[in-house]
Each structure stands twice: as structure tokens, then as C-alpha cells.
A and B are shown apart, each in its own frame.
Chain A
Amino acid sequence: MDVTILKIAALFYLLAGVSFALYVFFQRDIVSKLSPLIVACGFAAHTLALGVHFFQTGYPNVTQFREALSLYSWVMVAGYLIVHFKYRLAVLGSIIAPLAFLMTLAAFAFGTGSEALPPELKTYWLLVHVTVAFLGNAAFALAFGVSLIYLLAERQLKHKKMTLLIKRFPSLETLDRLNYIFLVWGFPLMTLGIVSGSMWAGIHWGSYWSWDPRQITSGIAWLFYGAILHGRTTGLRGRKAAVLTSFGFCVVLAYFFLGDVVFPSRHGGRFD
């Protein structure tokens, strides 16, 4: 049931991706208002799928990789929708919608990894940990999106070769500011995610830090983003900031997709 609804959501994201492409690359203005609505439809279906799953199992959908992927793209899309209705940043959708589609698609590609969640793990810590960690990652995904747009726009301006594409972009100033805002939101959320996860681990397994691969990579990413944030206060901006932010997200993404396959861990649904 929830899988079928999730498929519908994925279909909407695909549709939105196509519609955004029409808008950004072919200057079809008609779809500029439509595309975010399609994303919103996909988001509604996605929410329903997650809700159904929650009701059936009684715990948030994070213990399997596919579930985590699906929840992650859900939070990311939520973030995008909020940003869109505040900043009218339709172009960002052209990156977020295909990303959400690919993630939900990938969620189907990965089979079920593990059994049900052991009852002793069903605590509020799980909810807190997962929520803030995913919110943080979603903020970084959005920062990544605006960074890519920034780099593309900056390149065209520097090389004095403007395509019609650049007309769709907000100014470099706006893009840079958004990048900063997402970072400012993402970093504390990530910090909270790491702290709450470690508390949870401390309570259930007796050690706060167990050199779990996820802990290691998020530790690295945390230091990295922290360094960018520090740089921000001392004049790091523009292209360099965009490059670093994109790189940071690649670290997050690489682990997200490869980590559980290469290094099975608690985050991959192995709780023994």
C-alpha cells in the first residue's frame, strides 16, 4: 500500500523535473507556476506513504536504507517548498525535483535490508535524532542546489557568454545569501543530530561513540561545514564558498549511498 503511494509520489517528482526543465531550458513560462504545484502533489503523496507506513509499523521509516532515502527526499522537498513560497526560487526546483525523484527511485532499487526494529530502540530519542539529522541534511542539499546554480551563473558572467538560462537565475548576491542561510540552518541541526544520536547510543549500547562509519563521516562533514561557516564570518563568499559547500554535500551524499553497502552498520539497519 505505502509502496504504491510512494511510486505515485516518485512519478510526480519525475513530472515536476520535466516541467522544471521545460521552464528553465526552454523558457516555457506557463509551467513556472505549475511545476511547484506538481512538486507539492508529489509531496502530498509522499507524506501519505510515510504516514501509512508509520501507522502500520508504529515507528518512523528510517531503519532500512530505502526508508531512510525516502524520508530524506521527503524532508528535502519540504525544505524546498518552504523556500519556494518565501523566495519564489523556481530554478532551485529544477535541481531538487530530479534529485527527489532519483532518491525515491533509488529507494525502490535497494531491497529490504533488515527485520523490524527491536522494541528497545523505539524511543523518543530515535524520533529526535532522525528528525534533526534529516532536517540538517536537507538544508545542506538545498545549499548544494543553490551552490550549483551559483557556479553556473558565475561562470557565464565571468566568461561573458550569457545563455538564456542565466535569465532564470536569481542574482549572485541572492544565491550566495541563500547558500549562507541554508548553512546557518543546516549546521546547528547537524550538530543536534550528532549529539542526540550519540545520547541515544549511550543509553542503549552504553557507549556514546562507537566509530560507526556514519559517525565518522558525519563527524568529518560536521568539521568541514563548521570550517566553511567560520570562513563565512571572515570573508569567505561567492565561488569559493559555493565550491566548498558542494564538496561538503558530496561527502554526505557519498556516504549516504555507499556507506551502508560498504560498511554495514547500525545506521544500515543492523542493530546487534
Chain B
Amino acid sequence: MQKEILIVGLNHRSAPIEVRESVAFEASYLREALARLRAYPAIQEGVILSTCNRVEVVAASADGPSASAEIKKFLDEQRARRNAGQLDDHVYAYQGADAVRHVFRVAASLDSMVVGEPQILGQLKDYYSAAQEAGTVGAILHRLFHRAFSVAKRVRTETGIASRAVSVSSVAVDLARRIFDRFDDKTVMLIGAGKMGGLMARHLQSNGARSLMVTNRTFERAVELAGSIHGSPILFEDFPRYLKIADLVIGCTGAPEVLVDAGAVGAILKERKHKPMFFIDIGDRRNFDAEINKLDNAYLYNIDDLQAVANENLQERSNEAEKAEKIVVEEVANFNRWIHSLEQAPTITALRQRFEEIRRNELGKSLGGGLKDLSDRQREALEVMTTAMINKLLHGPISHLKKNAEKEDDESALYSAALKKLFDIEEK
């Protein structure tokens, strides 16, 4: 009987975090859990995947329905270790092509909470190797996971699913990267010691920014924030004087008035020999004059602009996700073809063997009897001719079998059953 792939588990959509946590497999227990999973009679191969957004068991089994029930039981037991109740409605189970599709979608980060997030693939690889070490991976899951990894890679390279910033501060850093080549020789000025500004400053620092100035109307708060992000605090009255050394200026004071006007920036740019300046206005109120963006070598983005770019990117991501889904569909079809060719392979081999057997027998009889005076060359020609005949005869049936392997329906089973019966084939 042919093995089938199935997946049973729960994710961020099917179950709340408490439930997911209650069945999560801690790393130290994983090996034992895999051994216990393998001990179930219907399960031949198994991989456990346990992250904060999903707990899933992928298995290969000759008896899908029983295996599915066994995995549910296995998850219930896992939950019982923590004295929690039954899982029931939170668990989903897929079999065959649906299971393959699910695994591919997980690997390609299409099933993630934040679609396109890159961590899941690494986690999948880790759990796969753990199962491999525990000896619970066979030929089927081996192939499945390796295909899943390459699907993920295809999705990553062929679609822009993971390549766009979707939060305001990452969009701002992204834009800054389009203007500046590097941040380690740039100076950042933070006007206002708000939470959002601090976040943005840290984001820039993690991208290489080193020199940071913080100013605030209440000087103490500037000192406080500067202390926590290794910047230098400056007095609010002084900041216009320092503006000329700032390459990135972040405004988030919440003050209702414009703090930096375009005329001043024009003069500063001249003083800076027109080295570019990037103004990021992330307060609720506009702190920077909108005219700044019209100056050469000065760029101004306010919170709405950044949000618009972020939304656009998010939209783009879902467009890219559609492309990715198409890739998944394609790959699932490829994989199914492989699975079904596994089913047909024994029939095909047996059919060939049967014909070859007949050919040899009959040829042997004739060459030993009525045709025994033939020369070596003639014998060889006879050999070639009969082989060619067999191949021609078998070509039709075998290519039909292979073609049917691509479809998953009763017709293909009917064909191979008919062949077996007609030619008296026993599968080994």
C-alpha cells in the first residue's frame, strides 16, 4: 500500500495563543516526543514543528485516516502533560495534496502571521534536522521537506514577498538608504524626545548610524533619551545652530508650530555645500515646512507619506503573495506527480518483466528448436527485433500509466488494476 502525506496541527488562525502554548514542544523534549510519535502503529515517518505561531505534525503513513486520528491523540497527550483539556476544534488535518500544499505554504511564509517573514524557513529546517537525527524521516518526508525548502527559495527569489518594508520606521530607514550610501558617517538629529523618535533613532543605529543629537523643550528628557541611545543632548534653543551638521533630521515634538522652515534649510544647504538632508516628520503635527521638499538635495517625508509607502508595500506584498501561491500550486502538482509515479513504478516494472520473461522463453524455445541453425549475426538480429517489438507494444500502456499518475483519480487505479489482471502481474 502506498504511503500518504498528512499534516495535523494548529496555527495562529485556528487556535489562540494559550492553546498553542499548551501543546508546544519544548526543545529538550523534542527527541522523546518524536520517538513517541513514531511508536504509533499507523505512522511510518514524522516531523514535529513547534513555533509560537504553530504546532504541527507532518507524517507519512500507509493508513491516512488512522494516522490522522493517532496524531490528534498524540497532541492531546502532549496537552495532557500540562493538565489542559481536549483540543478538538482547534486542530486541522490535511491529507495528500492538501497536506503537501500546506507544508509548502508554511515554508514559503505564506501561512505566517506576517506574510513573508523570513524566520519560519530556518525553524522548519531545524525541526526537520531534529527529526532526521531522531530517525523519524524516511524517503517521503525527506523529499517533501527538501522540495519545501526549494519552493521557499523560489518564492523568495521570484517574488518580492519579503523585500518590502511595512512599518513606518523601517520605511523611513529604507528611504534613507535610497538617499545615503551609509550611515556611519552621517549625523542624526532628533527633535523631540518622544517614543516614536527614539524607536526610529534605534532603528537607524542598528543600520550603522553612530552620531546622534537629541533635543527637547524639556532638557531633562533630552538628556534621558540621549543617555539611553548614546546620543548627545543639546538645548532646544541651540538646535537650529546644529542643524547644519545633521544629515537626517527627525521631528516628533507634538508641538503645533513649524520648527524648521524652508528658507532656513535653503541657507543651511548652501553652508553644507548642498550635501543632502533627509527630514522625517513623524509627529502628529507638522514640525517641518512642506516647502523643504522642493529644495534641491533636501527630502521631506511626513508620517502620512511614510504610512502611504508602508501601505503600498503591504499591498505589494499581497500581490506578490498571489504570485507565490501560483508557484506553490505548480510545485504541489510536481510533487504529486512524483508521489503517483511511485505508485505506478512497481506496476510498470512488473509489466516489463512479464513481457521480457515471455520474450526470453519463446526465443529460447525457437533458437533451441526450429531456428537452431541460425548464425550468430542472425541470432543477434532476432534479439534486437524481438526487443524492439516488446518496447513498441509496451510504449502505449506505459505512457498511459505515467500520464495517469499525474491525475489523482479512480481512473488511474482502474488502469493499473486492469493491466495487472490482463497480464497476470503480481507486484513484488
Contact = CB atoms under 8 A, between A and B. Distances in A.
Contacts of B305: 160
A167 interface: yes
Given A238-B297, A240-B296, A27 B273 contact: no
Given A171-B179, A171-B181, A172-B179, A30 B157 contact: yes
Given A29-B157, A158-B293, A158-B299, A236 B181 contact: no
Interface string B317-351: 00000000000000000000000000000000000
Contacts of A169: 178
B181 A174 contact: yes
Interface in B273-328: 273-276, 293, 296-297, 299, 301, 305, 308-309, 312, 316
A235 B276 CA distance: 11
A45 interface: no
Contacts of A158: 293, 299
Contact of A236 (B158, B274, B293): B274
B236 interface: no
A254 interface: no
A235 B160 contact: no
A72 to B, nearest CB: 30
Nearest to B180: A173
Given A164-B160, A237-B274, A153 B178 contact: yes
B157 A235 contact: no
A234 interface: yes
Contact of A238 (B276, B293, B308): B276
Contact of B276 (A167, A172, A236): A172
Contacts of B167: none
Interface residues of A, number: 26
Nearest to A241: B274
A157 interface: yes
A53 interface: no
A252 B163 CA distance: 40
Contacts of B158: 28
A157 B179 contact: yes
Contact of A27 (B160, B182, B308): B160
B270 interface: yes
A48 to B, nearest CB: 35
A158 B290 CA distance: 12
A173 B312 CA distance: 25
17 contacts: A30-B157, A158-B293, A160-B308, A162-B309, A164-B160, A167-B163, A171-B177, A171-B179, A172-B179, A173-B180, A173-B276, A235-B270, A237-B274, A237-B297, A238-B276, A238-B296, A239-B297
Kindly list the 9 A-B residue pairs having the minimum CB-CB distance in the complex, ordered from nearest: A235-B273, A173-B181, A238-B297, A171-B181, A174-B181, A235-B274, A173-B180, A172-B179, A237-B274
